[in-house]
Amino acid sequence: MSTTPTDLDALAATLRAAIGADRVISDRQQLRTYECDGLARYRVVPGLVALPADAAQCAAVVRACVAAGTPFVARGAGTGLSGGALPHAHGALVVTSTMRDIVEVAPDDERAVVQPGVINLAVSRAAAPHGYYYAPDPSSQQICSIGGNVAENSGGAHCLKYGFTTHHVTGLEVVTPDGERVRLGGRAPDSPGYDLLGAFVGSEGTLGIATEVTVRLTRLPESVRTLLAAFGSTDQAGAATSAVIAAGVVPAAVEMMDALAISAAEAAVHCGYPAGAGAVLIVELDGPAPEVDAQFAQVQALCRENGAFEIRIAADDAERALFWRGRKSAFAAVGRISPDYIVQDGVIPRTALPEVLRRIDALSAEHGIRVANVFHAGDGNLHPLVLFDAAVDGQAERAEEVSGAILDLCVTHGGSITGEHGVGVDKAKYLPRMFTDDDLATMHLLRCAFDPDGLANPGKVFPTPRLCGEVPGRRSGVHPAQAAGLAEVF
């Protein structure tokens, strides 16, 4: 991390020789393009950028970085919301978006093999003609890449029923932080040994770079039914959600928006949600037609019982898309009602929803900061949008305060500071609110096993820099002097 500009020049030269001059960027103006990811509040111009064409080139880049002692940061499409791909000023940014081949769609194996730069939605498009799709669907699925999804263990609206990226990746080829290429898992389940695949997914680029990803394909459901229910309040919508879950229904998705989020969405995409709603729920069921039909009627009844004053049922895919458009555009839409905003990603036990929302309201009033609420109601993943105007003195600070207080609320209710966006650089300081130093030190053991020199995405996830040190242990090996033949054991 003490890499100097001169060292970077030397590294750039090495990389140009290794992977081609056109794949290495060191011009200051061009480097600016990469100064942030989806969380633009953090900006660092990278020391240099490498755009490997394939896994072999990616490994060559990492090896060169290791040889130079230069940190490296992997970046996919740059849509992450926690600053996980924030560059290192004296490091290399390894951009995988040029590795974008769909290697194989194998419906008979229910798998697809893709390079990390492949866009999430492209996998589903490639699989659709065979009757399959790729289930994890982050809101950014039209622009985010699978490599980034793997790094962040991305979720999405439908992970309530189908799980997260970790449940849908069965194999990886990775370049480890020492530049080795290693296969983890594959097309078959249950590879013998430790679940390195499971450990790698969601490690936010700190354990290496994925260069090929084998994903599970899910059969396109026979039936999909979607409804939009309007309620007077978020409490009512929350109660309806609880009733649905208590009835033993596992919907594909249950999404909620409050009045402020609805008004933003209306302003942005004219989604035409029912007027006067204090909250809307989108509930989607999918699966075999006989099951969906039986449960869809039940869900409608439960919404009505809990105060829904209007229920719309999507007649076709176009109407379903309209329902979802309001929800999926919500983050961008608040730009219409506020110059600046912070998106939070805290999680609470779903049953704590009414209380936590009341506390958020109180925080909002107390600090004079508006908060729009959009969330995955089924799994308690909140996305409070904390609105502020950076031009107004003190607002940014107060927004940050509200934001932190919301995460505290999540943690004190037994939840998490992040459900799907990752810790990255943005939430590293909040991690100790969830975990003790022993917890973090234990997680760090894993990092040290992969990356003893701390070159892979340093400064992310862990709140304070930690060194690995030598592998401890009383019998970890012969004394170096003995090994060197300088001493003998008598």
**Which residues in the 254-313 window bind other proteins by CB under 8 A?**
287-291, 293-295
Torsion of CA 311, 317, 322, 328, to 10 degrees: 110
Does position 17 interact with other proteins (CB under 8 A)? The reply is: no
Q: How far is the CB of 282 from other proteins (least distance, A)?
A: 17
Does position 465 interact with other proteins (CB under 8 A)? The reply is: no
Of 5, 32, 439, 481, the one binding other proteins (CB under 8 A) is: 439
Q: How far is the CB of 191 from other proteins (least distance, A)?
A: 6
Closest CB to other proteins among residues 164, 331: 164
- Per CB under 8 A, the segment of 70-78, 113-121, 216-224, 315-323 that binds other proteins is 216-224
Does position 463 interact with other proteins (CB under 8 A)? The reply is: no
Does position 446 interact with other proteins (CB under 8 A)? The reply is: yes
- Per CB under 8 A, the segment of 231-239, 258-266, 392-400, 421-429 that binds other proteins is 421-429
Of 45, 398, 416, 453, the one binding other proteins (CB under 8 A) is: 416
Closest CB to other proteins among residues 26, 241: 241
Query: How is residue 26 written in tokens?
Result: 């060191």
Closest CB to other proteins among residues 26, 120: 120
Task: Show the site string, 325-364: x = touches other proteins by CB under 8 A, - = not.
Answer: ----------------------xxxxx-------------
Bridge partners of 284? Answer: 226, 253
Of 184, 213, 269, 385, the one binding other proteins (CB under 8 A) is: 184
Mode of pairing for the β-strands spanning 371-376 and 381-388: antiparallel
Of 57, 140, 166, 263, the one binding other proteins (CB under 8 A) is: 166
Q: How far is the CB of 31 from other proteins (least distance, A)?
A: 29
Closest CB to other proteins among residues 52, 415: 415
Q: Count the residues of the shown chain that bind other proteins, applying the rule CB under 8 A.
A: 96
Distances (CA, A) of 104 to 9, 113, 116, 258: 38, 5, 13, 42
- Per CB under 8 A, the segment of 33-41, 97-105, 185-193, 309-317 that binds other proteins is 185-193
Residues 229-248 that bind other proteins (CB under 8 A): 242, 245-246, 248
Residues 119-158 that bind other proteins (CB under 8 A): 131, 152-153, 155
Does position 447 interact with other proteins (CB under 8 A)? The reply is: yes
Q: How far is the CB of 190 from other proteins (least distance, A)?
A: 5
Does position 480 interact with other proteins (CB under 8 A)? The reply is: no
Bridge partners of 214? Answer: 113, 171
- Per CB under 8 A, the segment of 9-17, 187-195, 260-268, 306-314 that binds other proteins is 187-195
Q: How far is the CB of 476 from other proteins (least distance, A)?
A: 6
Does position 251 interact with other proteins (CB under 8 A)? The reply is: no
Distances (CA, A) of 181 to 60, 151, 169, 177: 10, 17, 18, 10
Task: Show the site string, 191-210: x = touches other proteins by CB under 8 A, - = not.
Answer: xxxxxx-xx-xxx-------
Query: How is residue 333 written in tokens?
Result: 């839409």
Torsion of CA 210, 211, 212, 218, to 10 degrees: 40
Does position 392 interact with other proteins (CB under 8 A)? The reply is: no
Closest CB to other proteins among residues 10, 250: 250
Asked if residues 408 and 161 have their Cβ atoms less than 8 Å apart, the reply is no
